[in-house]
Amino acid sequence: MSKRGAEVLEEALSLPPEDRAELAERLLTSLDASPGGRIDRMWAAEAEDRIEAFERGEIKAVSADDAFDAADGSKP
């Protein structure tokens, strides 16, 4: 990383979480600025794969509460 990049990173890390999240989103979007959006296509394919796996019975649905509990580690 360049010296300027390191300076920008240091400043960005001092921002409040909401501002860091917005900045991260904008930076990621700028990397996928190509027409057609490669990342969008990849996420769409992933979503389709998951739906098809669910319809085939390979994965089960879980409630949002269970998913959030699992994500924050409060449930095994």
Contact call for residues 20 and 10 (beta carbons, < 8 A): no
pLDDT at 8: 95
Query: Cα dist. 22→13, 25, 28 in Å?
Result: 12, 5, 10
Residue 43, class by beta-carbon neighbours within 10 Å (0-12 exposed, 13-18 middle, 19+ buried)? exposed
pLDDT digits (tens), the chain, 76 positions = 899 999 999 999 999 999 999 999 888 878 766 666 777 788 889 999 999 999 999 999 999 998 898 888 765 5
DSSP SS3 for 68: helix
Q: How far apart, in whole angstroms, are the C-alpha atoms of residue 29 and residue 39?
A: 9
Domain coordinates in residue numbering, the chain: 1-31, 37-76
pTM above 0.75, yes or no: no
